[in-house]
A = this chain, B = another copy of it.
Amino acid sequence: MEETVQSIFDYIDSHFDDHVAEVQRYLRQPSVSAQNLGMQECAEMTADYLRTLGADAQLVPLEGGHPVVYGTLRSNSSDKTLLIYSMYDVQPPEPLEGWNSPPWAAAIVDGKIIARGAFNSKGPLMAFVNAVQSIKAVTGDVPVNMIFVIDGEEEMGSLHLPQFIDAYQDELRRAQAMYFHMPSEMIKGRPQVILGFKGNAYFELEVKLREFDVHSGIAAVVRNPVWRLVWALNSMRGADDRIVIDGFYDNVRPPSQEDLDLLPGIVDVLGPEALAGMYRMNDPYSVNLAGPDFVRQVLFEPTLNIDGFLAGYTGPGSKTIVPASAIAKLDARLVPDMTVEEVLGKIRNHLDKCGFEDVEVRFVTGYGPAKTRASSAIAQAAIRSIEKMGVKPGVAPLVPGSAPEVMFAEPPLSLPFAMSGLGHGFLMHAPNEYFEVEGVRACEKSAVAFLYEYAAI
């Protein structure tokens, strides 16, 4: 096996310029699911790439959503089947003025491919495709059977993915585990194997009192929806930072001893210095914690976050109005064993109890938290394949982000899962998102190493 893997690595090295060009080509096709920009084109492009691997591939339309790109690739040498999850959609590129190189140019600047989706996650997906193509070119086969599920709504919360899982349940059941190949070196040289995700309940709060803005001269007698929303928000989380919604923390499962034992090993990637460096923050944190205690707070504490707020006049200068309506976008990150339905219900009850019946709660997207044990085959294959490439990965029992692939980890499929891979990139969800060119190479080789490790385990 080691020799085969080395030959494939050599093949990747000798074809690397072409591989990078394919990554750039793929990134130049916009695919912003939230804005319905380029989605059909990118889905077809993705299916075509799978077909070049010898896979059966098709677009599975979802009612009210963007299609899933679904493909199957057979191995002649293995009974094992992996569900390979990834996404072809990306976050909106706004604010556009923040980009030093345009988000759809995929230009290489100082050894980095700069594009929306470069790192999250079209760049890594194309690196995985390049890796499988290299395996086939060298061996004429693949080491495991693969079922590709390439999501078109990950960045919107995969609201319609359950439709797909429902319809393809029998096919998906052939998989023993789910894998998401994602270069995990947000801090270069510090890869991670990720075994769990927080859940996410994304929702809007809106107060709409009338059809028209009115002149602010009469503010002494009319209700202002912005004040109403400010007061409603304040009632949910006070200036001491504590979420004061009745029962919000009731179902929080404390971390297990196995979870806690993993935390010291990921302080260098999720500790205060690491996050400050990654996000270029120089303002103080809201908590006074260090080391594993800080990481525990990041991973095992649920949140209630305001993502956006829009009301009235927000242009230059002044406009004197009582706005007709106000809207806030929020996300609550959920830890095991919280659920989306439970949390949204508690928020509605809280608002009613506090006299904010005029505040509408509108669910946007969400899914629960999920975790896989570090002793599982998929986790062990991910950990060992990285180790064999010469680095000891951090193992995260949970990460602060959320991911819809937890839908495969819940009943009826209940698949164990892991997310891993080498390569450095960053600034996902922000301007100047990038993936290092050399990160593409590491990403491809780590995909090869993982697939052979899982086949052998």
Is A109 part of the binding interface, using a Cβ–Cβ cutoff of 8 Å?
A: no
**Number of identical monomers bound together in the oligomeric complex:** 2
Complex CA–CA separation, A233 to B328 (angstroms) = 15
B298 and A306 within 8 A (CB): no
Is A188 part of the binding interface, using a Cβ–Cβ cutoff of 8 Å?
A: no
B217 and A400 within 8 A (CB): yes
5 A-B contact pairs sorted by A residue (CB < 8 Å)? A198-B217, A216-B307, A230-B306, A306-B311, A317-B365
Complex CA–CA separation, A212 to B282 (angstroms) = 11
Contacts of A329 in B (CB 8 A): 312-314, 318-319
Contacts of A313 in B (CB 8 A): 92, 94, 307-308, 329
Complex CA–CA separation, A229 to B329 (angstroms) = 15
Q: Which of B216, B222, B241, B331 contacts A281 (CB 8 A)?
A: B222
Add 19 more A-B contacts to A217-B402, A227-B237 (CB < 8 A).
Answer: A156-B317, A210-B279, A210-B283, A213-B430, A216-B305, A217-B400, A219-B331, A220-B297, A221-B289, A221-B294, A223-B283, A226-B308, A230-B230, A305-B320, A307-B312, A310-B311, A317-B364, A318-B331, A321-B429
Q: Which of B34, B94, B218, B318 contacts A202 (CB 8 A)?
A: B318
Is A323 part of the binding interface, using a Cβ–Cβ cutoff of 8 Å?
A: yes
| A303 smallest CB distance to B (angstroms) | 4
Is A140 part of the binding interface, using a Cβ–Cβ cutoff of 8 Å?
A: no
| A320 smallest CB distance to B (angstroms) | 5
Complex CA–CA separation, A304 to B219 (angstroms) = 8
Is A260 part of the binding interface, using a Cβ–Cβ cutoff of 8 Å?
A: no
Complex CA–CA separation, A230 to B298 (angstroms) = 23
* With known contacts A279-B212, A314-B329, A219–B303 Cβ distance under 8 A: yes
| A428 smallest CB distance to B (angstroms) | 7
Per the 8 Å Cβ criterion, residues 80-119 of A in contact with B are 91-92, 94, 98
Residues of chain A at the chain B interface (Cβ within 8 Å)? 33-35, 91-92, 94, 98, 155-157, 198, 200, 202, 209-224, 226-227, 230-231, 233-235, 237-239, 241, 272, 275, 279-287, 289, 294, 297-298, 301-323, 326-329, 331, 333, 355, 364-365, 399-402, 428-431
Complex CA–CA separation, A172 to B313 (angstroms) = 35
| A275 smallest CB distance to B (angstroms) | 6
Complex CA–CA separation, A218 to B286 (angstroms) = 11
Q: Which of B211, B214, B230 contacts A233 (CB 8 A)?
A: B230
Complex CA–CA separation, A431 to B304 (angstroms) = 36
| A179 smallest CB distance to B (angstroms) | 21
B314 and A220 within 8 A (CB): no
Contacts of A210 in B (CB 8 A): 279-283
Residue of B nearest to A284 (CB): B223
Complex CA–CA separation, A282 to B219 (angstroms) = 15
